[in-house]
């Protein structure tokens, strides 16, 4: 018993190895904060501080289900002093970026939403961040990029404990696509839909057309692809593409069987919704099949509603196509 207690005890300040590890962590913190520009007065050459930018991010990506956050909820999520957050929100209101409205759940509280101007400002900031991280990763080989992501996953896993000591329930990361990922999307759609639903190669050809169009016409300010990765392996994907100036399409949602049940599909959908709102789209639409029960369940949970259906013969089967929409 005494030995067990000794092994689990916190190292003391006289533990030289522990002191060296503290110094190593601090050294890495100094390096990384400088590397990603945290020390700049304004993030990504914008008018926003790092904290202000994070507030915009949370409001733009707040889960589609339920009420938007109140200032109290947002302060708790970001571990910010309430007075400090209040000053940021007051400035955002004066700039026309944020508005307050009575909460649906509790009329005594005021929920926070980005305005159209706020969504446009965030979309510009998000595009700059995407480009900056892309430039940093482009300096590394594909193998080095994989090592970097794996190392970051390890850090997140070790330090990602929730209050009370529970481990954070997200054993995966979402990242932008890298060279080779588009081929994976096509291959895995073709293989999985053939095995699980009996679709023939014409479905894989359709996926290839969608992917090729996304790559050739990519608009960084209005479109995105997210790749889900777990333990260094790709386990999912989704695309958000422009249909019209006011309408975006969610396409090619996929989660590998071995990674289902971890919340990846729901998270990918939420990312699409958050980005679509930030990019000032007014509606998000998608096309699916009536037999894809798991995906349809996720869409309904996220607030989409079915607005049309049409029988058709495609991919070697008789199917019923469905159109779903979400007002933003």
In this prediction, residues 187-193 reach a mean pLDDT of 97
Return the top range by mean pLDDT from 40-54, 148-162, 170-184, 190-204. Answer: 190-204
What pLDDT, on the 0 to 100 scale, is given for residue 126? 82
Position of tokens 């970051």?
Answer: 152
Contacts with 275 (C-beta within 8 Å, 6 or more apart), sequence order: 60, 61, 123, 126, 224, 240
Is-contact 270 250, C-beta < 8 A? no
**Closest-CA residue to 55 (of 39, 64, 43):** 43
Q: Which two structure tokens, joined as six digits, stand for 280?
A: 């000032």
Q: What is the DSSP letter of 67?
A: P
Does the global pTM surpass 0.75?
Answer: no
Is-contact 115 78, C-beta < 8 A? no
In this prediction, residues 45-72 reach a mean pLDDT of 78
Distance CA 113, CA 278 (A): 11
Instruction: Phi first, then psi: give them for residue 321, nearest 5 degrees.
Output: -80, 145
The pLDDT confidence band at residue 20, using thresholds 50, 70 and 90, is confident
Long-range contacts, stretch 300-308, CB < 8 angstroms, 24+ apart: 301/65, 301/266, 302/64, 302/65, 302/266, 302/269, 302/270, 302/273, 302/326, 303/64, 303/65, 303/273
What pLDDT, on the 0 to 100 scale, is given for residue 16? 73
pLDDT(23) > 80: yes
In terms of pLDDT, which residue wins out, 182 or 220? 182
- Its CATH class, for the domain covering 172-327, is alpha beta
What pLDDT, on the 0 to 100 scale, is given for residue 241? 97
Distance CA 322, CA 267 (A): 22
Contacts with 86 (C-beta within 8 Å, 6 or more apart), sequence order: 71
pLDDT digits (tens, 9 = 90+) for 132-187: 888 888 888 877 887 887 787 777 767 765 444 444 545 688 888 988 999 999 99
SS3 95: coil
Give the number of other CB atoms < 10 A from CB of residue 307.
Answer: 10
The CATH architecture annotation of domain 43-126 reads Orthogonal Bundle (1.10)
pLDDT(35) > 60: yes
Is-contact 155 173, C-beta < 8 A? no
Distance CA 284, CA 137 (A): 30
Distance CA 159, CA 157 (A): 6
For the chain, the structural domain boundaries read: 43-126, 172-327
SS3 114: strand
Q: Which two structure tokens, joined as six digits, stand for 264?
A: 């990846």
Position of tokens 């990242």?
Answer: 175
Measured between alpha carbons, how far is residue 233 from residues 123, 146, 166, 172, 204 in Å?
A: 29, 9, 25, 10, 21
pLDDT digits (tens, 9 = 90+) for 66-110: 567 888 888 888 888 888 889 999 999 999 999 988 766 666 778
What pLDDT, on the 0 to 100 scale, is given for residue 6? 41
Cα dihedral value 162, 166, 172, 175, nearest 10? 10
What pLDDT, on the 0 to 100 scale, is given for residue 39? 59
Length of the chain: 328
Lowest mean pLDDT among 13-17, 74-78, 265-269: 13-17
Q: H helices within 10-81, ranges in order? A: 16-35, 50-60, 71-78
Is-contact 62 78, C-beta < 8 A? no
* Average pLDDT score, the chain: 84
CA 98 distance to own-chain centroid: 21
In this prediction, residues 220-224 reach a mean pLDDT of 91
């Amino acid at each position: 018993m005494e030995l067990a207690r000794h092994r689990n005890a916190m190292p003391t300040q006289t533990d030289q190895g522990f002191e060296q590890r503290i110094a190593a962590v601090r050294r890495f913190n100094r390096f990384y904060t400088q590397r990603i520009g945290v020390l700049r007065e304004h993030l990504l050459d914008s008018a926003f501080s790092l904290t202000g930018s994070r507030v915009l991010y949370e409001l733009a990506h707040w889960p589609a289900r339920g009420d938007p956050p109140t200032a109290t909820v947002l302060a708790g999520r970001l571990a910010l002093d309430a007075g400090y957050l209040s000053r940021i929100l007051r400035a955002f209101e004066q700039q026309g970026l944020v508005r307050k409205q009575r909460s649906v759940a509790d009329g005594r509280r005021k929920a926070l939403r980005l305005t159209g101007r706020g969504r446009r400002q965030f979309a510009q900031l998000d595009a700059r961040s995407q480009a900056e991280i892309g430039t940093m990763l482009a300096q590394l080989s594909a193998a080095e990029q994989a090592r970097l992501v794996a190392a970051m996953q390890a850090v997140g896993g070790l330090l990602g404990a929730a209050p009370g000591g529970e481990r954070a329930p997200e054993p995966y990361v979402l990242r932008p696509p890298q060279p080779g990922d588009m081929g994976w999307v096509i291959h895995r759609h073709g293989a999985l839909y053939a095995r699980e639903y009996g679709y023939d190669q014409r479905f894989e050809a359709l996926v290839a057309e969608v992917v090729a169009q996304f790559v050739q016409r990519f608009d960084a300010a209005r479109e995105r692809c997210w790749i889900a990765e777990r333990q260094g392996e790709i386990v999912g994907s989704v695309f958000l593409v422009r249909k019209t100036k006011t309408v975006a399409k969610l396409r090619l949602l996929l989660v590998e069987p071995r990674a289902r049940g971890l919340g990846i599909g729901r998270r990918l959908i939420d990312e699409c919704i958050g980005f679509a709102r930030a990019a000032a789209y007014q509606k998000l639409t998608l096309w699916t099949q009536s037999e894809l029960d798991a995906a349809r369940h996720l869409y309904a949970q996220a607030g989409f509603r079915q607005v049309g259906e049409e029988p058709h013969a495609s991919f070697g089967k008789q199917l019923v196509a469905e159109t779903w929409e979400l007002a933003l």
